[in-house]
Each structure stands twice: as C-alpha cells, then as structure tokens.
Amino acid sequence: MLLFTPGPTPVPQNVRNAMSVETMHHRTPEFEAIFEKTRKALFKLFGSDEVVMLSSSGTGAMEAAVTNLCHHTLLNVNSGKFGERFGKIAVACGLNNVEIKNEWDTPVSVDDILHAIKTNPNIDAIAVQISESAGGLRHPVEAIAKAVKEFNPDIMVIADGITAVGVEKIDITHIDCLIAGSQKALMLPPGLAILGLSNKALEKIGSGKGYYFNLATEIKNQRKNTTAWTAATTLIIGLLEVLETIEKQGGIEKLFLDTDRRAKATRAALEAIGLHVYPKNPATSMTTIDDADASQIRKILQNDFDVNVAGGQDHLAGKIFRINHMGLIPAYETAWVVNSVELALSKLGRRKYDGEANKIFNEILFGN
Ligand SMILES: *Cc1c(COP(=O)(O)O)cnc(C)c1O
C-alpha cells in the first residue's frame, strides 16, 4: 500500500535500519555525540538562533510555544483543526484568547491580524499555521510576521511549520518560534517535535514556564548536548539519518524544488481531469481536492490501486481528499497516484480514461 496521507508519511528504509540499533543509554558520550550532530543539522535546517527537541507529538511543541511565549493573550488563526488547537491550548493553560476564524479554504489576511492586535492591546503572542493541514491551506505567515513586528516587535510570532519545515523555504526573519514534528515532512515515526527560536523568544522565555515543557530547562541542557528528561534516542538517531539522507540526495534546496514541482504537477493534472483544488491558496505540502465523490474515490484508490490518501475531518468529512507531497517521494509514486485518481473517475462513470492526468503531470515534471 502506498502511504500518501499528509502525515504520517513513509519512513525510508535506510532510516528504519538506522533506528534498529540496540537501545542506547541517553546519558553517554556516544549518544551525546549523535545529539550534537543532530542539533547542528537542525540549526542548518531551521536557520534559527536556538533549536530544541522535545519528546512529544507536534501538539506538545505547540503547547510549549504557547505557555513559554505567551504570558497574557494569544491571538490564534482558526482556518482548520490545527489553528483551532492553538486557541484551545491557550484556554486550557489559563491564558486569554482571541481567535480569527475563517472557512477551511480561506487564508487569514494581514489586515485582519493587524486589526486584531490593534484592538486587543493585551495580545502578546500570535500563533498561526504555515500550512494548515486540515484543508491543505497556506497562510501568508511571512507577511503577517513582518506586519506584526512593524507594529510591535515585542509580540511573539509562533509559526506551526509541522507541514512546512522540510517542504519549502521559510523566511524566518520575523518569526520567533518555528515548530516541526517528526511524522510529517521529516519522514519519521511520530513522537519527536522540534522548535526553532529567535533571540527575542529566548528573552521572553526567561526562566521558562511549566515543568515538562519548560523551554528554559530544555535549552540549558540541550546546549550541553543532553536533555532535561529522557531523550527520544531512537527518533533522534532516525532524525540524523533523515537529515543526512536529504544532504546525500542533493540537499534541502533540491528537496524544496522537487516538492514544489511535484505539488504543482499534481494540482495541474487533477484540475485537467475536471477536479477542483479546495484551498484558495494551496500549501506545497499536500493537494486537497473537494469533491462530492471524495469518499468513493478514496475507497477505489485503496481497494483497486493500493493507494492510501487522507480524507477530511469535521464538516469536511467525506467531502475532500488530501494527497501528500512531503518527504523524499519518488516521482513515479505520485504519477501512480495521479493516474489512479483518473482511473477512479472512469470507474465512477464520470470521465472516459485517456491518460490526461499523467500527461499533464509528466509535462510539468519533465518539460521545460
Ligand atoms: C500534524 C500536525 C500537528 C501536530 O499534531 P500531532 O498529532 O500532535 O503530531 C500540528 N499542526 C499541523 C499543521 C499538523 O499537520
């Protein structure tokens, strides 16, 4: 079965092999050397002033960012489940919360953000997804971050890059906290989250908040290549292998270019056979199609073509399907997925099969 869900994504064979070594004790020079190398590679990937690894799923890093960087009121952007989660975290942690809510296909505007921070002077942090995975949407995070910092440089900008870090180049100039998670673009099993932090964020963190997710405690330890609590040793070994594999396969810039091309080719191919791309501003991480037959298409893909794509949640359940583009994906696999969608439409009697989807896909991928 081809796993084409936008998280979890497939773990490459060499990464699985790297993680099959005997369990290592985390307080050893041997593991600290691996930790140090991984940390160095993460600094390169994030380009931030500090990086922290946490043993948790992505939501743990979202909570750590909110509790350590917001001391009063959090502005969150809800254009989907993950954006909504930032607001829920704030409330659960006793913070105040202002939310900008849009339909799941609609990116937030810079003006709406500016309006919210001007009318709510207590907002001291904003949290937004770069790629909102619920509908495959790209928010204009870099422009938002710039406008927020021009208005008030003390407002912390938290960017959830769980389906963006490793997918596309992110300009972090005005971002204080950039979050990544293991099971999406980083091609690992779930359980590891990473935060890239600015110096301004480090100032605000001070002595940190909370206990397990106290970022000051973690940073103090991780600068010495160890962790406050037991490290996710196996996942960190896997992460180093992933980052080295990306380098060996031409580097991160090449991965960004390849991913962008695959995403564009997929969207154009599916539009060419009459399908509709759901988000108004699609993220590179995935292609989301809204269609009355979404459930049936997913079933045919699974049963007849061994392809597993994701559906939608909440009010989009049964109404969309999402095709992953994150990771080192061979083009022939995505070509198979695109062709399978075309065959599914033919099975549903909607369109006579003529190979159009693959023709367009290949033209964009291999044409000039
Ligand atoms: C997957 C995901 C998360 C984190 O979810 P976990 O299940 O906690 O790993 C957060 N934000 C986005 C945009 C995601 O896609």
Q: Of ligand 1's atoms, which has the minimum distance to the CA of residue 132?
A: 13
Pick the residue whose CA is nearest to atom 15 on ligand 1. Answer: 133
Residues in the ligand 1 pocket, defined by CB under 6 Å: 7, 57-59, 82, 129, 133, 160, 162-163, 181, 184, 190
Query: Measured in angstroms, how far is the CA atom of residue 322 from the centroid of ligand 1?
Result: 15
**Which residue out of 9, 76, 82, 326 has the highest number of ligand 1 atoms within 8 Å of its CB and is therefore the one to mutate?**
82
Query: Measured in angstroms, how far is the CA atom of residue 163 from the centroid of ligand 1?
Result: 8
Every domain of the chain with CATH number 3.90.1150.10 lies at 251-366
**Which residue out of 66, 184, 285 has the highest number of ligand 1 atoms within 8 Å of its CB and is therefore the one to mutate?**
184
**Which residue out of 54, 59, 182, 194 has the highest number of ligand 1 atoms within 8 Å of its CB and is therefore the one to mutate?**
59
Q: Which residues pair with 277 in a beta bridge?
A: 289
Every domain of the chain with CATH number 3.40.640.10 lies at 13-248
Query: Measured in angstroms, how far is the CA atom of residue 46 from the centroid of ligand 1?
Result: 18
Whether the CB-CB separation of 346 and 353 falls below 8 Å is answered with yes
**Can you give the pLDDT of all 368 residues of the chain as single tens digits?**
999 999 999 999 999 999 999 999 999 999 999 999 999 999 999 999 999 999 999 999 999 999 999 999 999 999 999 999 999 999 999 999 999 999 999 999 999 999 999 999 999 999 999 999 999 999 999 999 999 999 999 999 999 999 999 999 999 999 999 999 999 999 999 999 999 999 999 999 999 999 999 999 999 999 999 999 999 999 999 999 999 999 999 999 999 999 999 999 999 999 999 999 999 999 999 999 999 999 999 999 999 999 999 999 999 999 999 999 999 999 999 999 999 999 999 999 999 999 999 999 999 999 87
pLDDT tens for each residue of 306-345: 999 999 999 999 999 999 999 999 999 999 999 999 999 9
Whether the CB-CB separation of 135 and 282 falls below 8 Å is answered with no
Query: Measured in angstroms, how far is the CA atom of residue 5 from the centroid of ligand 1?
Result: 13
Rounded to 5°, angle at Cα 72 from 67 and 73: 95
Torsion from C-alpha of 207, 211, 213, 214, nearest 10 degrees:
10
Q: Of ligand 1's atoms, which has the minimum distance to the CA of residue 62?
A: 10
pTM of the predicted structure, to 2 decimals: 0.98
* 251-366 CATH pick, 1.20.210.10, 3.40.50.1370, 3.30.9.10, 3.90.1150.10: 3.90.1150.10
Query: Measured in angstroms, how far is the CA atom of residue 105 from the centroid of ligand 1?
Result: 18
Q: Quick one: CATH architecture of 13-248? A: 3-Layer(aba) Sandwich (3.40)
Query: Measured in angstroms, how far is the CA atom of residue 58 from the centroid of ligand 1?
Result: 5
Query: Measured in angstroms, how far is the CA atom of residue 130 from the centroid of ligand 1?
Result: 12
Pick the residue whose CA is nearest to atom 6 on ligand 1. Answer: 58
Q: Of ligand 1's atoms, which has the minimum distance to the CA of residue 6?
A: 15
Pick the residue whose CA is nearest to atom 4 on ligand 1. Answer: 58
Quick one: pLDDT at residue 367?
Answer: 87
CA pair distance 217, 54, nearest whole angstrom: 12
Backbone angles phi, psi at 216, to 5 degrees: -65, -45
